[in-house]
Amino acid sequence: MKRLIVDGQLFQTPAWHRGMGKYSVELLRVLQTTNNGWQEISLLLSEGIATKDTRLDEIRQQLPGVDIIILPLQPAELDNIKPTESNRQVVEEYIESTVHKDDDVNYLVLSILQSGTAPAFPNLPNIHTMLLFYDLIPLMFFKTYLNNAVPRLEYASRFDEFFRADTYLVISKTVGNDLAWHTGISKKRIHTIDGGPIRRGSNFKKLSVKKPFILMPTGDDLRKNNRRAIEAFALFNASIKYKYQLVVTSYFTPAEQKQLQDLSEHVLFTGNIEGSQLNFLYRESAALLFPTEYEGLGLPILEAMEFQKPILCSDISVFREISTTAMECFDPFSVTSIVASLHNFESGKVLPDKKQYQAILKKYTWDHTAELVKNAIKNSTQHCSEKKSVVVFCPLPSHSMVGGAAQLLHAELSKWAYVRYRYESRLTKHTQRITYTSYTGSDNYLLGPQSEISLPEGSTALYHLENESTSARTLFTALAVPGIAVLYSKSFKKVWQFMQEMHLIHEDRYAVEQSLSQICEHSDDFLVSIVASQKAIIVFDKNLYTRLETIKKQLKSKVILKCSPVPSAETVYREVLPKNKRFKTIRLVDAPQSSSSDPELSNEAVLTLHNQRDGFQDPLQDEYVTDHELITMFLSSEEIECTTDSYICDILKAQAAELGVVVKGRKAGGKKAKEPANYKVLAQMIDKLIEEVENE
Amino acid sequence: MRKIKPIIKLLFSFVKKPLRYIDKLIITILSFRQEFNPINSGLSSADVAESTLAQTIEKIQQTDTFNFVSYNQALKPRQIMYYYCTLKDNLRNQLVHLKKKLR
């Protein structure tokens, strides 16, 4: 028998009323009705999450025919943030007691990042696990959403379970790309399943609104861009003698509502409304305004198309995915641009193109989604269950490009290995990304003067080495415990200096290494002991590879040397990348430069390398650029030019090339290489190396 | 932890006493601390030559391993020290707070 078991803890949270909950209900409904070959669909709920009977009735009503099972699962709470192990046991027990040996079971988790819930993937053979994924908004915009320790802890602690899925079902191609860029999951495991307008029945419940009005379905969230939209509406409305009213849906805190109301008195806040009332608003509205800065799918656009309304929306990737011509698009970060679009609408230039709308709606149907889910399952493979043990030594991902690369390797590494992390850090307040790998597993820690540097028995050490203080303890360990070293820099002199400064090595050891370096390589790059101590070394530079080979011959060492192209996170769907480029060139430079030209008018963006290990800084801001900002910048420029020879540039250049940006002065690798240089390739290389090393 | 517990108890008994007693205790503990000192490889850079490459590598690998092992062995006293310093700071803060309250 074919069975689908669904973790539906999401339905027990406030997300039931939001897009996520509605999307999931529609998905389950269609999976149940269309013939996907599943004879039975079971929905698992948690006993630990307090749920009113009325909610359970609602779920039963919306999903008739779905078997609802309440299991003694524990919720995620602050004092028990990861009850996933005990929950996994409960789920596995349930599956073992109800599933027959020859049953074909798919296990789907509806949401892994929803706070309060604690879904767990069963670790059983022949059970194919899937994760429905809506967006990575908190991770990408972590400065806004994860600024405080508690939400950050709550969010990041979920990444352990996140990486356990075999297949990731994403709601749009844009989310698919984000997932690959920010978590390093290979594109073969990501499948977009789109979606369709939410069915709300054909009831229309009247709301007292003054016509004509423009509808703005939104939420009380910075990303929804309400402020700029209302500012723009006020300017537009004043210029046409206050002809329109703006109807804003969703609940706002009284303080926020007052602030928005102060921007324009012609705004009506409806609060949370029923489906039939929303139907009424769509039907009666003159147009839809959707100014959001980021969206996972953007259901309101599809809904407005159903009602044949003119659509004014942001020019963002996910909407371009729906159509590039059917909507009037504006720059969500510019009030002037929004005003211009509103004027275009008023002058009759924005009309609903019924033919186009129909074609789009034909593509975005739930039946099509069911078909895509079916294909995704057909094309996916299960994780191997026997895992190796790897201990990764790397700079802390939050503050380092190399750490970031090591973090992106996790998704593929964790497919065949149990990974532990030993991070190295230094004092800084700047954060470039969230270190989510520290929450995968329970044996990860930051190396400091008080922490033991240890390797569990039977595990292989993987050292990510850069020429900075953040590699001192890593190299100190590598010299004594042979493993696999990944070298990002061409010289390691600085690390040796730091090792001496930190009293990890005696000063004579430094002097000996220097002499060795001069004898073996006639340079001052401190590579000899690395070659002498390691079992295998991976480099990203051909010259460095040749130099290591020479040293290897001189030492008669057995070290295995490999040269790999610099890895970059894959782009899953190239077709949704923006075609309009804002900048001609992005220049990566060494020192901060005073720019004489107006950045708004300039066709050039400059990123300065503040500190070798840190990453790049936007000279206009006193902040390091985050991964999301970097990708956005790369996507909005035609070419990238590098005037610094820092090793972290290689990582950036590879990522830029992967995103289709022309890299000036680039010899080979990345896009042009025969083998795509993604993290999967690097992980496979490491996997093979571990086997080779073990066999010797 | 078993070793640390009685010392923590002792420290807490000092809370009621003036700060200088705590400092005195810390200094006593400090004098017992065992620090990690990397060993000399016994080679000078002048000794290193192409002909002795194999021997040099062998010798420095022994040094590196010895250093690594003794680094971890010297860890416990360092951890205890770190613990005391944090505790001392905490106690100091609490006392300052209490003094303010009493005024």
Q: Which residue has the higher pLDDT, A406 or A64?
A: A406
Angle CA A214–A250–A117, to nearest 5: 145
Taking CB atoms and an 8 Å cutoff, what residues of chain A touch B62?
Answer: none
The reply to whether residue A452 touches residue B75, judged by beta carbons under 8 angstroms, is yes
Q: What is the pLDDT of residue B91?
A: 72
Q: What is the DSSP letter of A673?
A: S
**Could you give phi then psi for residue A227, rounded to 5 degrees?**
-60, -50
Residues 113-142, chain A: which have Cβ within 8 Å of B? none
Q: What is the pLDDT of residue A355?
A: 92
Q: How far is A151 from A507, CA to CA, in rounded Å?
A: 45
Q: What is the pLDDT of residue A124?
A: 87
Residues 46-65, chain B: which have Cβ within 8 Å of A? 46, 48-50, 53-54, 56-57, 60-61, 63-65
**β-sheet bridge partners, residue A268:** A247
Q: What is the pLDDT of residue A224?
A: 92
3-state helix, strand, coil in chain A (%, to 5): 40, 20, 40
Contact A644, A536 (CB under 8 A): no
CA-CA-CA-CA torsion sign (A34, A36, A42, A43)? negative
Q: What is the pLDDT of residue B19?
A: 58
Tokens of A21: 């909950």
Q: How far is A66 from A456, CA to CA, in rounded Å?
A: 45
Q: Which residue has the higher pLDDT, B51 or A545?
A: A545
Interface test with A, best of B57, B59, B66, B72 (most A CBs within 10 A): B57
Contacts of A531 (CB under 8 A, 6+ apart): A537, A548, A551, A552, A555, A557, A559
pLDDT higher than 90, residue A579 = no
Contacts of A616 (CB under 8 A, 6+ apart): A588, A607, A608, A609, A610, A624, A625, A630, A648, A652
Please tell me if residue A512 touches chain B, with a CB cutoff of 8 Å.
yes
Strands A445-447 and A460-465: unpaired
The reply to whether residue B41 touches residue A508, judged by beta carbons under 8 angstroms, is yes
Q: What is the mean pLDDT of residues A528-553?
A: 94
Q: What is the mean pLDDT of residues A599-614?
A: 55
Q: What is the mean pLDDT of residues A527-548?
A: 94
Report pLDDT digits (tens) over A98-153: 988 788 889 999 999 888 899 999 988 888 999 999 999 999 999 889 888 888 88
Tokens of A346: 């008023």
What is the pLDDT confidence band of residue A646, given thresholds at 50, 70 and 90? confident
How many angstroms away from the CA of A448 is the closest CA of chain B?
10
Tokens of A353: 């193109």
Q: What is the pLDDT of residue A327?
A: 93
The reply to whether residue B53 touches residue A509, judged by beta carbons under 8 angstroms, is no
Q: How far is A139 from A434, CA to CA, in rounded Å?
A: 7
Q: What is the pLDDT of residue A640?
A: 85
Taking CB atoms and an 8 Å cutoff, what residues of chain B touch A512?
Answer: 41, 43-45, 48, 56, 60
Contacts of A363 (CB under 8 A, 6+ apart): A194
pLDDT higher than 90, residue A287 = yes
Q: How far is A277 from A283, CA to CA, in rounded Å?
A: 10
Q: How far is A207 from B100, CA to CA, in rounded Å?
A: 60
The reply to whether residue A480 touches residue B53, judged by beta carbons under 8 angstroms, is no
Taking CB atoms and an 8 Å cutoff, what residues of chain B touch A504?
Answer: 38, 67, 71
What is the pLDDT confidence band of residue A600, given thresholds at 50, 70 and 90? very low
Taking CB atoms and an 8 Å cutoff, what residues of chain B touch A520?
Answer: 53
What is the pLDDT confidence band of residue A380, given thresholds at 50, 70 and 90? confident
By three-state DSSP, how is residue B39 classified?
A: coil
Report pLDDT digits (tens) over A555-565: 999 999 999 99
Please tell me if residue B82 touches chain A, with a CB cutoff of 8 Å.
yes
By three-state DSSP, how is residue B8 classified?
A: helix
Q: What is the pLDDT of residue B1?
A: 54
pLDDT higher than 50, residue A612 = no
Please name the member of A480, A512, A556 whose beta carbon is closest to the beta carbon of B41. Answer: A512
Contacts of A264 (CB under 8 A, 6+ apart): A230, A231, A233, A234, A237, A246
Q: How many CA atoms lie within 13 A of A362 on its CB side?
A: 6
Q: How far is A22 from A30, CA to CA, in rounded Å?
A: 12
Number of CB pairs < 8 Å for A and B?
Answer: 89
Q: How far is B63 from A412, CA to CA, in rounded Å?
A: 36
Would you say the pTM of this structure is higher than 0.90?
Answer: no
pLDDT higher than 90, residue A37 = no
Most distant CA pair in chain B: distance in Å?
76
Contact B60, B38 (CB under 8 A): no
The reply to whether residue B39 touches residue A506, judged by beta carbons under 8 angstroms, is yes
Concatenate the DSSP letters of all residues of A353-404 into one string. Answer: -HHHHHHHHHHS-HHHHHHHHHHHHHT--PPPSS-EEEEEEEE-GGG-HHHH
Instruction: Tell me: cis bond preceding A212? Omega within 30 of 0 counts.
Output: yes
Q: What is the mean pLDDT of residues A579-585?
A: 80
Lowest-confidence pick of A191-195, A288-292, A502-506, B19-23:
B19-23
Q: What is the pLDDT of residue A596?
A: 44
**β-sheet bridge partners, residue A388:** A417
Q: What is the pLDDT of residue A208?
A: 84
Q: How far is A541 from A334, CA to CA, in rounded Å?
A: 43
How many angstroms away from the CA of B99 is the closest CA of chain A?
31
Per DSSP (E only), the strands in A448-495 are 460-465, 484-487
Q: What is the pLDDT of residue A601?
A: 47
Interface test with B, best of A508, A514, A519, A556 (most B CBs within 10 A): A508
Lowest-confidence pick of A130-139, A569-578, A581-590, B84-93:
B84-93
What is the pLDDT confidence band of residue A636, given thresholds at 50, 70 and 90? confident
**At which residue do the structure tokens 């309440």 appear?**
A70
Contact A288, A215 (CB under 8 A): yes
Q: What is the pLDDT of residue B28?
A: 62
Number of neighbouring beta carbons within 10 Å of residue A280: 18
What is the pLDDT confidence band of residue A387, given thresholds at 50, 70 and 90? confident
Residues 84-103, chain B: which have Cβ within 8 Å of A? none
Q: How far is A587 from A239, CA to CA, in rounded Å?
A: 42
What is the pLDDT confidence band of residue A668, given thresholds at 50, 70 and 90? very low
Q: How many CA atoms lie within 13 A of A95 on its CB side?
A: 29
Q: What is the pLDDT of residue A421?
A: 95
Chain A residue at shortest CA distance from B41: A509
Please name the member of A453, A516, A528 whose beta carbon is closest to the beta carbon of B72. Answer: A453
The reply to whether residue B68 touches residue A511, judged by beta carbons under 8 angstroms, is no
Q: What is the pLDDT of residue A343?
A: 94
Tokens of A288: 């839809």
CA-CA-CA-CA torsion sign (A423, A429, A430, A433)? positive
The reply to whether residue B68 touches residue A555, judged by beta carbons under 8 angstroms, is no
Q: What is the pLDDT of residue B81?
A: 67
Chain B residue at shortest CA distance from A477: B68
Please tell me if residue A533 touches chain B, with a CB cutoff of 8 Å.
yes
Lowest-confidence pick of A75-79, A411-415, A662-666:
A662-666
Please tell me if residue B75 touches chain A, with a CB cutoff of 8 Å.
yes
- Angle, to 10 degrees, between the axis of helix A647-658 and the axis of helix A627-635? 60
Nearest partner of A85 among A178, A164, A13, judged by Cα: A164
Identify residue A563 by its one-letter amino acid code. C
Q: What is the pLDDT of residue A575?
A: 87
How many angstroms away from the CA of A509 is the closest CA of chain B?
6
Tokens of B59: 């010798």
How many angstroms away from the CA of B34 is the closest CA of chain A?
13
Residues 539-568, chain A: which have Cβ within 8 Å of B? 554-556
By three-state DSSP, how is residue A425 classified?
A: coil
pLDDT higher than 80, residue A610 = no
Tokens of A650: 């290689």
Contact A214, A285 (CB under 8 A): yes
Please tell me if residue B70 touches chain A, with a CB cutoff of 8 Å.
no
Chain B residue at shortest CA distance from A517: B48
Taking CB atoms and an 8 Å cutoff, what residues of chain A touch B56?
Answer: 512, 516
Tokens of A493: 């002199």
Identify residue A498 by its one-letter amino acid code. F
Lowest-confidence pick of A5-9, A166-170, A455-459, A487-491:
A455-459
By three-state DSSP, how is residue A635 classified?
A: helix
What is the pLDDT confidence band of residue A35, given thresholds at 50, 70 and 90? low
Angle CA A55–A56–A61, to nearest 5: 95
Contacts of A83 (CB under 8 A, 6+ apart): A73, A74, A75, A76, A118
Burial class of residue A79 in the structure, from the number of CB atoms within 10 Å of its CB (0-12 exposed, 13-18 middle, 19+ buried): exposed
Write the ipTM: 0.80
Q: How far is A131 from A7, CA to CA, in rounded Å?
A: 10
What is the pLDDT confidence band of residue A598, given thresholds at 50, 70 and 90? very low
Contact A395, A386 (CB under 8 A): no
Contacts of A528 (CB under 8 A, 6+ apart): A513, A516, A517, A520, A521, A551, A555, B57
Instruction: Provide the mean pLDDT of chain A.
Output: 87
pLDDT higher than 50, residue A632 = yes
Please tell me if residue B41 touches chain A, with a CB cutoff of 8 Å.
yes
Report pLDDT digits (tens) over B4-46: 666 666 666 655 555 566 666 666 665 555 577 888 888 887 7
Q: What is the mean pLDDT of residues A154-183?
A: 93
Q: How far is A310 from A163, CA to CA, in rounded Å?
A: 41
| Alpha carbon B80 to its chain's center | 7
Taking CB atoms and an 8 Å cutoff, what residues of chain B touch A480?
Answer: 64-65, 67-69
What is the pLDDT confidence band of residue B74, given thresholds at 50, 70 and 90? confident
**β-sheet bridge partners, residue A107:** A5, A129
Q: What is the pLDDT of residue A228?
A: 94
Q: Which residue has the higher pLDDT, A675 or A350?
A: A350
Please name the member of B45, B67, B72 whose beta carbon is closest to the beta carbon of A515. Answer: B45
Nearest partner of A462 among A654, A670, A685, judged by Cα: A685
What is the pLDDT confidence band of residue A592, given thresholds at 50, 70 and 90? low
